[in-house]
Amino acid sequence: MHEQSPRPEKSLALSSMLELREDTRHVWHPQELGAILKHQLAAPLVLALGNSLSAEVAHELKTLGSPQQEVKNLAMLLHHPEPSLELLSFTKRFAKSCWNDPDSPLPREIAILLYYLSIAVADLRSGKQLSTLGRDDLIQGLRWCGDQVWVDQSTLRLLKEALEHFGKGREAFAELKATMPPTAD
């Protein structure tokens, strides 16, 4: 670099380097969301939900009964027939904090997906409400999630099941639109 004259295209590169500073946003590119979601769903639960919840998550994992002991990651939790409500609640808390935090370690889109999925799965499998979010808002959020091209097939099936559960059926899922989800409750 020392021996080359600065060229216009290099000027933009240099400018981007000077802009880095303390900004931690935009670490990942939009086309990487699928890979990040896959990684997040497969990550050990104590690592996936952040430092602030890791102790609580570890404690909960130790106290789980036999049907749930096999749960090692978010994918297993979300697809479990009898998921731990406590772990789903932790997932919702973590997702909500990431959604609201501009410096979140998780892309906002993935935080939104985890937020709605954790609420929907709790209702779907246990009939429990983790949130005061209205049903219409929840459906709107789930539709938004289902419309994202980076969501994997397994998660899409879960979203579809949740939408059907919430009474909108196949039509609701077929009419997915790229609307932004409502804000977290």
Residues binding other proteins (CB under 8 A): 1-6, 8-24, 27-29, 32, 35-36, 39-40, 43-44, 47-48, 50, 105-106, 110
| 42: nearest Cα among 184, 157, 154 | 154
Cβ atoms of 37 and 45 within 8 Å: the answer is no
Write down the least CB distance from residue 176 to other proteins, Å: 25
Write down the least CB distance from residue 36 to other proteins, Å: 5
Cβ atoms of 145 and 159 within 8 Å: the answer is yes
Write down the least CB distance from residue 103 to other proteins, Å: 8
Write down the least CB distance from residue 152 to other proteins, Å: 14
Write down the least CB distance from residue 112 to other proteins, Å: 15
Of residues 6 and 67, the one with the C-beta less far from other proteins = 6
Of residues 24 and 179, the one with the C-beta less far from other proteins = 24
| 41: nearest Cα among 141, 146, 120, 152 | 152
Q: 80, exposed or middle or buried, with CB in 10 Å at 0-12, 13-18, 19+?
A: middle
Residue 139 and residue 120: Cα distance in Å, rounded?
9
Of residues 6 and 169, the one with the C-beta less far from other proteins = 6
Q: 167, exposed or middle or buried, with CB in 10 Å at 0-12, 13-18, 19+?
A: exposed
Of residues 33 and 122, the one with the C-beta less far from other proteins = 33
Of residues 41 and 124, the one with the C-beta less far from other proteins = 41
The two three-digit tokens of residue 150, written as one number: 């980076």
Q: What are phi and psi of 128, to 5 degrees?
A: -105, 145
